[in-house]
Amino acid sequence: MKKQDISRSIEKVDSREKISGAAAFTSDIKLDGMHYAKSVRSPIPRGRIKQVNLPSLPKGYVVVDHRDIPGENVVKMIHDDWPVFPKTEVAYIGEPILLVVGPDKEKVAELADAVEIEFEELEPTFGFTNSAIDLHYDKGDPDRAFETAARTVSYEYETGYQEQAYIEPQGFVGYLDEGTYTLVGSIQCPYYVKNAVLATMAADEDDVRVIQAPVGGAFGGKEEFPSLTATQLAVALRKVQKPIKFIYEREEDMIATTKRHPSKVRMEAALDENNNIQGLRAHVGLDGGAYLGLSGVVLSRGMLAATNAYTIDNVWVDGDVYVTNTVPNGAFRGFGAPQMIFAIEMFIHHVAKEVGEDTYTFRTRHQVSQGDLTSTGGVYRDPIILDEMSKKAEEISDYHRKRKEYEDPDTFKGIGMSWFLHGCGFTGSGEQEKIKARVKLKKDADGTVRILVAAVDMGQGPKTTFRKLVADVLDLPLEQVLFPYPDTRYVPDSGPTVASRTMMVVGGLLARAAKDLKESWREGEVQEAMQRYKQPDYIEWDQDRMKGDAYPAYSWGVNVVEVEVSKVTYEVDIKHVWSVYDLGKAIDERIVLGQADGGQAQGVVGLGYLEVMEHEGGALKQKNLTDYIIPTAVDMPKTENHIMDNPYPLGPYGAKGVGELTLVGGPPAVALAIEQAIGRRVRKAPVTPEYIMELIHNG
């Protein structure tokens, strides 16, 4: 049988159950004797808990708090500052202090409302002052570059919060099964959850089981945050000894779960007499919120993207995570890169304008090439087709002609282009040192092959693409390869579903396992094939100094956005987006194009323009889907997206990372278009009509 190109799209295996409403999301699960948990939250941004006054609790209703924790009162992530239930101090508005649990929701709600907590209010901290993590890297001799510079240019950029706004709020259903804490939930990382619960419950490996339910969107918001709800739930299960449903209401989810870190990035360029950037200094500031969570890693990834698609020989990058009394911030598709790429893309255009050069020529001159050093002195070993991609994008969008035409300020139209990269996988030796991914294929006697990995399908398609991949390598029909929902009882830890690593790393391991299985296939026998991640030899990374190869591979993208701005209302009509992406090889073209559409909605239209979230005194002003504006179908521009193959030798069929690439370049593309339309320098995203009006009136 002639083999089809792996990119050729097939029917997604879970479409029917989702279209029909039959797929059972966490909130659809019903168990006998189910109890319900409701959080009682802090109304203040910072304070000491003086006294908790509970209403009288009827039989069957309990309060669960820090006193009920058998193990560590720490949500196990990277740092140990995030409590499962705060004992003495609260650190943000909305922080869950305790749970009320019982069999009747009306009663639980009534009791939760009747809990009175006395606080001694303390002075909260906001803004970019209290640094809890600081990182640094450098390359070459930036001091010298600045000392000998013919001129220097510097600007500051800002980005705001972004809320993941998955349509399915967070939640778990938990129960005890012969002493095993069994948690079924809407999650990205079954083993993050398991490990957190093990620590909080001081439990044995076999006593905790985590199962992924269908996930109604995640985008990073269900990466580390569920470890908090899961540990709280496990503590409650131990106390109540009954099944418990723990689902967040939308407003809870909006105010109290992790968001994209607001950022302030300061950029400074040292130029020689030929207007070449010889040195770049950057400072990245992230508002981490009350607890550190993954903020250090977000900062790291952001900092690493400082030079983006440009080669600059001398680089000095500092970064800080500031702790504030606001909701802890965390993972969101892009993970620090959108903030940095907004800054560097805007900056490189602003530098060009400052020195009076055509921005396109200026950027092209600095464009990265294969063999160049990365921001941290690693090497871009693989072919880079960015130039070809850009030419394609320019052609389909008619970029140059429009750019010239829209120079006329009366048109109030603009066209903007961004180039960007995304490092695939965990930084540096993270895969080797931290994750140590393992995958397993289990073959039954009848020849059915089960994929046993912890990778979560949250809409991006591994339920389909993994089966496709393994079936293709094994030369079997798709129906003979199964990929059940990850259950930690049965699957090894293949790592979290994050960092655009799922296809490249986990898929890569599955492809190798499948190859082994194929070669050792014995009809009628039960067999297993396992693979463990091994870091490619060429990766050299010094974590402390942030030097070397930060990533094993890079995906690349070009976004072009055309806009028209209203002179009367300052609203932006985003008319068209054109994109070209290099993600190595699409394991399913339509799925990848779907990622492009979704990433652009969140990047170009969302973070670039519509999505505003602000706090005042630690209280978020936009607390529901009415006030937090995400795009509707009417808000989406026309789009044209192309994928260009550039196979990566160590990725399955050449695949690299996709999931985040399609978001990270969006905000600067639309911001640059708006900048041209209004003739003013844009320094903040989202580029709201209010901000546009301010720029027009104040320059």
Partner 1 sequence: MADITFTLNGERITLREEPNLRFLDVLREKLNHTGAKEGCGEGECGACAILLDGHIVNSCLLPLASVDGRDVVTIEGYRMTERYQMLEKAFIEEGAVQCGICTPGMMIAAESMLRENPDPTDEEIRHGLAGNLCRCTGYNMIIAAIRRAAKEGEGLW
Partner 2 sequence: MVRHIIPKTYREALEHLKSGSLHILAGGTDLMVQNRAWSETPVAFKKDTLYVYNLEELRYIEREGDMLHVGALASYDMLERHPDTPSALKRCIALLASPGLRRVATLAGNIGNASPAADGVLVLYALDARVVLDSADATREIPIEEAITGPGRTAFEDGEMIREIRIPLEDFDSERFKKVGGRKADAISKVSFLGAAAFDGDVIKDLRLALGAVNTTVVRRREIEAQYQGLTAADLKARSQEIREAYAPYVRPIDDQRSTATYRRQVALNLIEDYIHSL
Binding residues for partner 1, per CB under 8 A? 9, 11-12, 14-25, 27-28, 30, 164-169, 214-219, 249-250, 458-461, 590-591, 593-594, 596-602, 624-626, 630-634, 636, 639
CB of 393 or CB of 473, closer to partner 1: 393
With contact defined as beta carbons under 8 Å apart, do 463 and 481 qualify? no
Contact characters 609-628, partner 2, x per CB under 8 A: -x-x-x------xxx--xx-
Residue by residue, DSSP assigns 562-616 as EEEE-TTT--EEEEEEEEEEE-S--SSHHHHHHHHHHHHIIIIIIIIII----EE
Q: How far is the CB of 102 from partner 2 (least distance, A)?
A: 12
- Of 499, 501, 467, 503, nearest to 484 by C-alpha is 467
Query: What is the sign, positive or negative, of the torsion defined by CA atoms of 676, 679, 681, 682?
Result: negative
From the list partner 1, partner 2, none, which binds 435 (C-beta under 5 to 8 Å, kind-based)?
Answer: none
Contact characters 560-599, partner 2, x per CB under 8 A: -------xxxxx----------------------------
CB of 114 or CB of 530, closer to partner 2: 114
CB of 293 or CB of 686, closer to partner 2: 686
Give the C-alpha separation, 190 to 468, whole Å. 23
CB of 253 or CB of 457, closer to partner 2: 253
Give the C-alpha separation, 72 to 684, whole Å. 41
Strand order in the sheet with 314-323: 131-139, 314-323, 277-289, 263-271, 151-159, 684-685
Q: How far is the CB of 188 from partner 2 (least distance, A)?
A: 24
With contact defined as beta carbons under 8 Å apart, do 502 and 455 qualify? yes
Size of the chain in residues = 699
From the list partner 2, partner 1, none, which binds 548 (C-beta under 5 to 8 Å, kind-based)?
Answer: none
From the list partner 1, partner 2, none, which binds 167 (C-beta under 5 to 8 Å, kind-based)?
Answer: partner 1
From the list partner 2, partner 1, none, which binds 693 (C-beta under 5 to 8 Å, kind-based)?
Answer: partner 2
Contact characters 185-224, partner 2, x per CB under 8 A: ----------------------------------------
CB of 405 or CB of 627, closer to partner 1: 627
Name residues contacting partner 2, limited to 240-279 (CB under 8 A): 247, 249
Residue by residue, DSSP assigns 182-240 as EEEES-S-HHHHHHHHHHHHT--GGGEEEEEPP-S--TTTTTSTHHHHHHHHHHHHHHH
Query: What is the sign, positive or negative, of the torsion defined by CA atoms of 654, 656, 658, 663?
Result: negative
From the list partner 2, partner 1, none, which binds 22 (C-beta under 5 to 8 Å, kind-based)?
Answer: partner 1
**H or E element: which one contains 401?**
helix 399-405
Query: What is the sign, positive or negative, of the torsion defined by CA atoms of 660, 661, 663, 665?
Result: positive
Q: How far is the CB of 610 from partner 2 (least distance, A)?
A: 6
- Please identify which residue in 357, 372, 635, 640 interacts with partner 2, judged by CB under 8 A: 635
Contact call for residue 28 and partner 2 (CB under 8 A): no
Contact call for residue 633 and partner 2 (CB under 8 A): yes
Q: Half-sphere exposure (CA, 13 Å, Cβ side) for 390? A: 19
CB of 102 or CB of 631, closer to partner 1: 631
Which residues are 554's β-sheet partners? Answer: 423
Contact call for residue 357 and partner 2 (CB under 8 A): no
Query: What is the sign, positive or negative, of the torsion defined by CA atoms of 600, 604, 609, 615?
Result: positive
- Of 284, 8, 13, nearest to 137 by C-alpha is 284
Chain positions contacting partner 2, by CB under 8 A: 38, 105-106, 108-109, 247, 249, 567-571, 610, 612, 614, 621-623, 626-627, 629, 631-635, 689-690, 693-694
